[in-house]
Structure 1
Amino acid sequence: MRSGYIPVLLALTVATHAFGQDSSRPKRLTDTTSQLKDVIITASRVAEQVNEVPSSVTFISRKELAKQAQINSNLPYILMQKIPGISPSEEGQNNFIGKLRGRNFLVLIDGIPQSTPLRNGGRDLKTIDAGAIDHIEVINGASSMYGNGGAGGIINYITIKPEKNVPFSSSTYFNNSLNLIKADETYGYNLSQVFKGGTGKFDYVVQGKMAHSGVVRSSDGVVVSPFYGLGETKTYNALVKLGYDFSARHRIEVMGNYYNSIQDSKYIGTKGNFGVSPAIGVRGDTNILGGTPYNKTLNVKYTGTYGKTAANVAVYYNDINSVFEAYNQIYSDHRGGRFNFSTPFALPASNSVQLIYGIDFLKDHTIQKDMADKLVTPDMNMNSIAPYLQSKFILAKHWIFKAGARYENLLFKVSDFTKGNQLIPGATNTYNALVFNTGLRYNQFSAIQPFASFSQGFSIGDIGLVLRNGVSLNAINVAPVKVNNFELGVNGDIQRFHYEVTGYYSTSKKGATFKEITPGNFDLVQLPQRIYGIEAVLGYKAADWLSLGGILGYMDGKEDTKNDGSYDGKVDNSTISPVKIGGNINVKLTPQWDFSVQMTKIGSRDVFPQAVWNYGKYPVSGYTLFDMYTAYRFRYVTLTFAINNLFNANYYPTHSEVRGATTEGRYYVKGTGTVANLGVVINL
């Protein structure tokens, strides 16, 4: 480490942070020791306390998100720290192997779909800047609440809330980063600004961010291959949210967000040699600028009450372009509307029922092209109309019973497509999906609150991956694939101790994985799968100045390799994540000075003989990372300092070993070495 860079790093620290606290907002979960009754979520389409939800829900508060973003602003890395069942961060532009409990998940921004299930680009977790997010709500396990793609669960980014009680407030964030092993070319910065306020019936939020990352170096100081990497990347984000209260019972809100993240590297990637040497960056240049040229999200939402009925109506538009280095690009846009209503009814003996009902409309258009704009897939369109009904019974005050159904009508249309010299004619088909859910929770005692649930999710899968091989739509079965998810858990608060333990078991008739046929060309393999696991979230406030937390995620699975009901094979590493253990220690040294250390251990998984090594079947070696964070608060200013990969671990991210020698080892890269982050937060 070059000590001369420390005063330079200190000198570069000026003003700061978009993550100021909103004291006017109701108390929400901020760490693992918070009380369940204080947590308000909206992921199930109505606002409710988490102790009324009969399933496993993860809530990442704005305070915790701000802390994690100071350590590493990459959203997949943040989610890895807090969600037991999510796949480890790929430490790149993509989340190709991103799974939640071994299944594909659906990413939303304020309820607007960001995922592109018709041709999975693996960019949905990185479609907005962390500084524009108020909190994150995660439904773990299959969910039908938002439709196609939620087979593993829902990840909903809730954008910044307005400050209604003051006409103007400002939060500024400036962060500097530098690799401490070899600092050459690694300096990066992150500047974000938030203005928010309200006057009379009007309120607003304006957020802007610009950032540039330096070269990424591994623990030995060598440049990591920039292939789909995060180095030398410029990122911009702009959020505008305007709200107007016509009265205490009627409100309209308009939200627009623009995200841009483009890599322009002075390096090119070499080929890696699995088990021998990683792909590294060598001096060179390319005209291909990989990343996300744009993600545009627009949402107009009306909320109102009519007698006892609450209405929540939203129309939305989302348009994303993802560029994949030297290969191709995906264009996907979504247009739709969500009409959601909720009506309570009193029942005899102080019981009650709430009916949540409505209809969703979605038009999903997706197409993949090469860099010369030649079609890689046919033009794909999916129109969906989905009515749903959900009931929530409160019985004898402490029994919460939920049951509901969603019916999805899908019209799928593809255009004519030429593969080589062969013309594959377009086709139109209609598919239907009916999915159910039910759950029960008992919440009388804060110390022990058991719950059980059954839920179904569905996905039509990565159809574009098959169609791009010149296969006709009529030659494949694209009917929605259901996932059945069974869950049993218990959580509670015992004085200073908080816990949640959940077990789950999910089945699907068409689990998906891939096999490399020739370098860079993959076949889709679909077999019946059973996936099961256990998760735990623990927190202990040992003293007013000391709190401890931890997570555990374990999963495994079997698949029916002969499709004869025997389930004789292991599910591969692209679907099953190794065991994850996380822990954190948070110390309040003084009322103004906080200090934290966190650890994440990703285990190993080696269950396939070398003779069958391919995508997802290479051995995963595992790794352990430590991060440090400290902050000192003055009246308006907070100084922050964090170190990512505190002990400079030498490791391969799980995705590197899942891909192994595929695509000539271009994905076989090392993880990032020790990086220091120094910043300041100013709240006015």
Structure 2
Amino acid sequence: MTRLVLFLTLLSVSISVYAQSGAGIITGTIRDAQSNAIPYATVAVDKKKGALTDESGGFKLNNLPAGSYSLQVSAIGFQTQQYSVQLSEGEVETVTLTLTGGTQNLDEVIITSRSKSESTANLTQSVSVLDGRTLEQTQIVSNNPGDILALTIPGLGTSSGTTSNWGQTLRGRQLLVLVDGIPQSTPLRNGSMDLRTIDPYALERVEVIRGATSIYGNGAAGGIINYITRRNDYAKPFSMRTEVVGTGSLVSPVNTLGGRFYQSFYGKAGKIDYTVSSSYERNGVIKDAVGDPLGSTYGLSNVATYNAFAKLGYDLTPSQRLQLSYNYFSSQDKTDLIEVLGNSQKGIKTTSAPGTPIGSPPGTRWNHNAQLNYTYDKLIGNTSLGASAYLQDISTVFFYSTTFEGGGQSTIHSQKKGARLDLNSPFTVGSSLQGSVAYGVDVLNDVTSQPLLDGRTWVPEMNMLSLAPFMQLQTTLFDHLVYNGGVRYESMSIGVEDYTTLKPYNNQTKQFGTSINVKGGDLYYNYWVFNSGLRYNKWSWIRPYVNFSQGFSVADLGLVLRAARVNDIAQVQTSAVVVNNYEVGFNSRYKGFTLEASAYLSQSKLGSSFREVNGFYVVERMPERVYGYELALTGKLSSQVRVGATYSYVEGKRDGNDNRKFDDPQDSYIGGERITPPKYTAFVTYTPTSSLLFRLDFLGSGNRDRFARNETGIYKTYEGPVSAYQVFNLASSYRINHSLTLKAGIENLLNADYFPSRSQFLMLDPYYIKGKGRSFSLALTLDI
């Protein structure tokens, strides 16, 4: 390993010396008015070439011919400023530049809106952006995306701390996970393993649209989480990062030690930029606050995770770009632990002990993603074009279960082939009306099934072909009033062959029902979905908005098919769910603080959740109403201290007698698999020097008790009461020098002894598992 690092170091120095021969260099540091370093600032040379500052505020621009240059320096929370630099041939010009704070903080720019890029100030619904700085800080404690997003995204449910994000909904509804726009979710049969589909190290940022949206089609009834991977616009010809991490329990370290290794190479040379990275992680035994091993169902004990990522870009011209990317992810349970079953009704936790598990290792066996992108920024009339084609192939194995006759394991297999065309045309009418029109089409073939590993059919193969043209209009009226509106037409067909259902399991009698022979056929869906919203941007201290948006979802069709009790698919209620989402909110900026608030009402004529009826699980297709509100506050107390807090509340009910009212005796609350308790989070970061960082995160889950015990004195599945709990995490990092950084994190700092909300509401013994006890991570990072 030492020889490899030495070789790569010498190679990078050689490349750097060669590239700099005969050319000038501008190097320097970006600081604020109090002389504190500003990390992650953008330094652009005449808006063409540039660099991002490191954590010490430093930057370097290589291979610059002699001449005069205009540097544009920008950073979130500061005013963008211009600086002039005169450079002679072969000269190294060192500068120290200062940014001043201003009331006009920079707005985040997102690409998930389907425009080329879109300022959040011009969007008329709730959007969250998890930037690279926050992602890197929170990752010190946990590398699980479900944990990171629960801490940082309002409206997203708390994490279960497992490999599964089932029950971690967004605003009480199903969410769609993407990687650079490629769907990772399997909405035709949602396995809820989609948040763990890429190593966070490969990410530049995460963009989240909260609330129903049709921007990417099927499966986004609750919103979208889009992982944006790294791109090297301002990199050197060759750079590398190596990180070695050790993990384990601080309560009972025996058998808990694990580790993670990450390696990346990246750079930009002329018209070519590239990123190649790989990671391997192997956990030890995960223990709770008293040192007992956690239960093994969806557990992270001894899980081995692999990730390989590559992205190659080529700038054909200054306005045309070709990009090829590939991501491979695998995460499987390699544990030698077996379940020690507890009792959820009596409050006895499920743990694990050494033994040989039954069946094949559960987890994601593979997840392949490949995408080819072409962009052209300057077509006729300054229209921009983006075209992409992608492939995805995922196979996920679930744990062995005795709820199948004779026992068995199911596996979700999904193959997607898709193409996407995006165009964006700006326009100006007169002197007071300007805007843009985004339009295009999505084409997707998704083949999904859920058989058992022994060959039995649980969910038959569903072959979906979707064609969806769309158009979105954005315009600014009277200088400050922004309008967003659009339409999408979903035209979808799904072919299903004849199949036989498995015998359903009765949770009360512990007996099996009867199988049904179901005649297959073709299902057709043709829906128009709309959105329309307004935002008023005249004042920075308050920018209100109102929005209506619809989301389309073939609501987990696999659930409906596998629970069929009729002998013809034409008699199964397979209608799609169309969600109407109404939202009102505002954001406010004042003296370095930002406050965001939103309230929403989400309605649909049909639902698609499981519910236990007489011991069997049935799919409820009743009308639903989900509502809630969210608050988020962030700001700087000083140049060294940043703080933030969020609060999220969501509730939902079903209309049992379909009379458009939700307060009748026949109506019922939606279970915990969809509706999470109130969530509140907070953080504080302290940077006493440019090299030292501390971050304290807090997550709290509130109470939810909406259901009574049944006539036998037990709670039904999904209806267990949830009691409140709180968890603190501490992260720290110290930059030893320009290349080396030491990181340390403590998860569950106060060693809270608690059950995550999913363990409580589910009321199934295998899932009645405690949360992770106090644990550590220690990392050393080398940047060259």
TM-score range, shorter chain: over 0.9
Give the whole-Å Cα distance in 2 for the aligned partners of 1:546 and 1:34: 18
> Corresponding residue for 2:574?
478
Matching of residues 240-259 of structure 1 within 5 Å: 240-259=310-329
Q: Is the 8 A contact 2:332 2:365 kept in 1?
A: yes
Range with bigger deviation, 273-282 or 239-248: 273-282
* 1:139-218 matches, cutoff 5 A: 139-218=209-288
Match of 2:435 among 339, 353, 371: 353
Q: Which residue of 2 aligns with 1:14?
A: none
- Residue among 607, 610, 618 paired with 2:709: 610
Partner of 2:350: 279
Return the alpha-carbon distance in structure 2 between the equivalents of residues 206 and 548 of structure 1.
Answer: 34
- CA shift, 1:138, in A, is 0.3
Asked if 1:601 corresponds to 2:700, the answer is: yes
Counterpart code for 1:39: E
Q: Does residue 45 of the first structure (1) align with residue 114 of the second (2)?
A: yes
1:629 and 2:698 correspond:
no
1:106 aligns with 2:200: no
Q: 2:476 aligns with which of 369, 391, 394?
A: 394
Instruction: Sort the Cα spacing of 1:172 and 1:397 in 2 relative to 1 into closer, same or farther, 3 A.
Output: farther
Quote the Cα distance in structure 2 between the aligned partners of 1:603 and 1:117. 29
Measure how far apart 1:165 and its partner are. 4.1
1:427 aligns with 2:506: no
* Alignment correspondent of 2:652: 557
Instruction: Report if the CA contact (8 A) 2:77-2:592 is conserved.
Output: no
Deviation at 1:207, TM superposition (A): 1.0
Of residues 266-275 and 288-297 in structure 1, the stretch that sits farther from structure 2 once superposed is 266-275
Could you tell me which residue of structure 2 aligns to residue 328 of structure 1? 410
In structure 2, do the counterparts of structure 1 residues 61 and 27 end up closer, same or farther at CA, with 3 Å as the change threshold?
farther
Aligned partner of 2:672 in structure 1 is 573
Work out which structure has the larger RCO, using CA pairs closer than 8 Å and 6 or more positions apart in sequence. Answer: 1
Render the CA deviation track for 1:388-433: whole Å, top value 9, x for unaligned.
1110001222221011000000111101213467542220121111
Contact 2:672 2:762 in 1 (8 A): no
Equivalent residue for 1:644, pick from 739, 747, 768: 747
Q: Which amino acid aligns with 1:401?
A: Y
Q: Using the alignment, how far apart are the partners of 2:399 and 2:730 within structure 1?
A: 33
The secondary structure found in structure 1 opposite 2:218 is coil
Write the letter of the residue equivalent to 2:288: S
- The two structures have a TM-score, normalised by structure 2, of 0.82
1:25-59 deviation line (CA, Å, top 9, x unaligned): 5867699x996534111111110111111111000
The Cα offsets for residues 578-631 of structure 1, whole Å up to 9 and x where unpaired, read as 111111111112221111211111001111111272122110112100001111
Paired position in structure 2 for 1:16: none
CA 1:669 to 1:518, structure 2 compared with 1: closer, same or farther past 3 Å?
farther
Q: Distance in 2 between matches of 1:581 and 1:139?
A: 19
Structure 2: distance between partners of 1:428 and 1:503? 39
* Contact 2:41–2:75 (CA under 8 A) maintained in structure 1: no
Shift of 1:480: 1.9
CA distance in 2, matches of 1:419, 1:617: 26
SS of structure 2 residue aligned to 1:68 = helix
Q: Return the letter of the residue paired with 1:279.
A: T
Find 1:337's aligned residue among 419, 424, 435.
Answer: 419
Shift of 1:458: 1.3
The superposition leaves residues 508-531 of structure 1 with CA deviations (integer Å, 9 ceiling, x where unpaired) of 111232224688x63212221111
Distance 1:198 1:276 in 2: 57
Please say if 1:666 is aligned against 2:740. Answer: no
Seen in structure 2, the aligned counterparts of structure 1 residues 651 and 28 have a Cα distance that, compared at 3 Å, is farther
Partner of 1:319: 393
Partner of 1:296: 368
2:77 and 2:105 in contact (8 A); partners too? no
What is the letter of the counterpart of residue 284 of structure 1?
G
Does structure 2 conserve the Cα–Cα contact (< 8 Å) formed by 1:37 and 1:49?
no
Identical positions, percent: 35
Q: Establish whether residue 64 from structure 1 lines up as the match of residue 131 from structure 2.
A: no
Counterpart contact for 1:176–1:677, Cα < 8 Å: yes
Matched residues in 2 for 1:227 and 1:186: separation? 18
TM-score by structure 1 length?
A: 0.93
Retained in 2: the 8 A contact 1:272–1:667? no
Structure 1: distance between partners of 2:223 and 2:347? 37
* RMSD between aligned residues: 1.9
For residue 371 of structure 1, report the CA deviation from its aligned partner. 1.8
Matched, 1:437 2:509: no
Going from structure 1 to structure 2, the CA distance change for 1:370 and 1:219 (only over 3 Å counts) comes to same
Instruction: From the superposition, tell whether residues 548 and 419 of structure 1 become closer, same or farther in structure 2 (CA, over 3 Å).
Output: closer
Q: Is the 8 A contact 2:451 2:460 kept in 1?
A: no
List runs of 5+ in structure 1 lacking aligned partners.
1-19
Query: Rg bigger for which structure?
Result: 2
The residue that corresponds to 2:65 in the other structure is: none
Structure 2 residue identity aligned to 1:323:
V
Secondary structure, in 3 states, of the residue corresponding to 1:511? coil
CA distance in 2, matches of 1:477, 1:418: 17
Residues 52, 422 of structure 1: CA spacing in aligned structure 2 closer, same or farther, 3 A cutoff? closer
CA–CA separation in structure 2 for the residues paired with 1:644 and 1:35: 36
Could you say what secondary structure the match of 1:377 adopts? strand
> Gaps spanning 5+ residues in structure 2: where?
1-38, 43-50, 53-72, 79-101, 401-408, 503-514
Distance in 1, Cα, partners of 2:244 & 2:621: 47
CA deviation string 1:59-103 (max 9, x = no partner): 001111111111111101111001110111121111121211011
Residue pair 1:30, 1:64 contacting (<8 A) in 2 also: no
Residues 22, 163 of structure 1: 8 Å contact kept: no
- The one-letter code of the counterpart of 1:466 is V
Q: Distance in 1 between matches of 2:417 and 2:353?
A: 42
Matching residue's letter, 2:353: V
Equivalenced residue count is 660
SS of the counterpart of 2:698?
Answer: strand
2: CA distance, partners of 1:430 / 1:227:
37
Contact 1:37 1:51 survives alignment (8 Å): no
Structure-2 separation of matches of 1:529 and 1:469: 20
Q: Return the alpha-carbon distance in structure 2 between the equivalents of residues 530 and 436 of structure 1.
A: 19
